[in-house]
Amino acid sequence: MHPARSTLRGARTAATVALLAVAVGCAPQSEDKAADKSSPASCAEGDLSTEVSGKLTIATDEPAYEPWFKDGKPASGEGFESAVAYAVAKRLGYDKGDVVWQSVPFNKAFAPGEKTFDFDINQVSISDERKKAVDFSSGYYDVRQAVIALKGSEAAGAKSVADLKNVKLGAQVGTTSLDYIDDVVKPTEDPAAYAKNDQAKSALKNGQVDAIVVDLPTAFYVTAAEVTDARIVGQFENQGGTPEQFGLVLDKGSALTSCVTDAVDALRADGSLAAIEKQWLSDAVDAPVLK
């Protein structure tokens, strides 16, 4: 080959390599950023892949019950879960004004299907069954289930799980409260299942059921402020040796799951969760354990 042609061909090859390198280096920035946002490890403030850019969309049911939310207003920052939600948001880099609340029915929050929220906070207990459809953060509250009955009733005198077997019980559908009736009490009569806790409380007031099962903090609020002629009969032991925990619900495979979990873990580690619990759930003292 002629030396001049060889030199020219080498120059062209070098130029081609250089152009390819420039082309790769100038790949669209948005593609790189999108890849970063899809990574669960990208938790940097302002770099979260949220439903609405620059906002954090948090869901809960309506109405929002005390002591979890104050006066039915999730956005107030008052009530245990409202306070936890804003504390998590702050950890993620979102101010109160950057939080958007969305109403989502309890059962829909952990049903299969794409979510329209970044996370849901609504006393949803973490379970292996629910994990098949959604992601959960680590637990933000350890909870027990409790039995409420009208004062002076036969159900109010129950001292053990066995004493509840012939009692007409009720609970909200889709909850671990109803699971405890079915799996722990195993009553002789099928329990009544209600779409809302309000309906269960009304049934108790009207004598349609002898007792209802709710989580312990709710039980203390119900007996103190809503059904004042009722009393807490007792609480159930945790099943399987591990505490039942409420977790934040996220879309299955959400890029935010690890970030939200890190935020919850940090709030637990620095005592923030304990302080919020003491402020809003301090009345939920121990109740007798039904064995």
Are 175 and 133 found together in one domain? no
Are 165 and 197 found together in one domain? yes
Q: Which tokens in the block code for residue 67? A: 């002591």
285 — pLDDT class (breaks 50, 70, 90): low
Instruction: Judge whether 230 lies within some domain.
Output: yes
Predicted confidence (pLDDT) per residue in 204-246, tens digit: 999 999 999 999 999 999 999 999 999 999 999 987 778 899 9
Which residue range is the domain that position 207 belongs to? 145-236
Instruction: Judge whether 183 lies within some domain.
Output: yes
Beta bridge partners of 139: 247
Q: What is the amino acid identity at position 46?
A: G
Q: Which tokens in the block code for residue 123? A: 């006393």
The percentage of residues in the chain with a pLDDT greater than 90, rounded to a whole number, is: 79
Cβ 166 vs Cβ 144: under 8 Å: no
Instruction: Judge whether 108 lies within some domain.
Output: yes
CA atoms within 13 A on the CB side of 151: 7
Are 130 and 258 found together in one domain? yes
- DSSP classification of residue 240: G
Instruction: Judge whether 9 lies within some domain.
Output: no
pLDDT of residue 34: 37
Instruction: Judge whether 270 lies within some domain.
Output: yes
- Average pLDDT of the chain to the nearest whole number: 87
Which pTM does this prediction carry?
A: 0.81
Whether the ω angle into residue 40 lies within 30 degrees of 0, i.e. cis, is no
Are 70 and 109 found together in one domain? yes
pLDDT of residue 283: 64
What is the number of domains present in the chain?
2
Predicted confidence (pLDDT) per residue in 188-203, tens digit: 999 999 999 999 999 9
CATH label of the domain that carries residue 88: 3.40.190.10
Average pLDDT score over residue span 177-193 = 97
Task: State the DSSP H helix or E strand holding residue 120, giving kind and residue range, or none if neither.
Answer: strand 119-120
CA 258 to chain centre: 14
Average pLDDT score over residue span 278-288 = 80
pLDDT of residue 131: 97
Does the pLDDT at position 175 exceed 50? yes
Closest CA to 84 of 34, 30, 138: 138
Are 134 and 249 found together in one domain? yes
Instruction: Judge whether 38 lies within some domain.
Output: no
pLDDT of residue 47: 81
Are 281 and 229 found together in one domain? no
Are 206 and 253 found together in one domain? no
Are 136 and 151 found together in one domain? no
Are 150 and 188 found together in one domain? yes
Does the pLDDT at position 77 exceed 60? yes
Instruction: Judge whether 124 lies within some domain.
Output: yes
pLDDT of residue 221: 93
Instruction: Judge whether 60 lies within some domain.
Output: yes
pLDDT of residue 266: 98
Are 228 and 103 found together in one domain? no
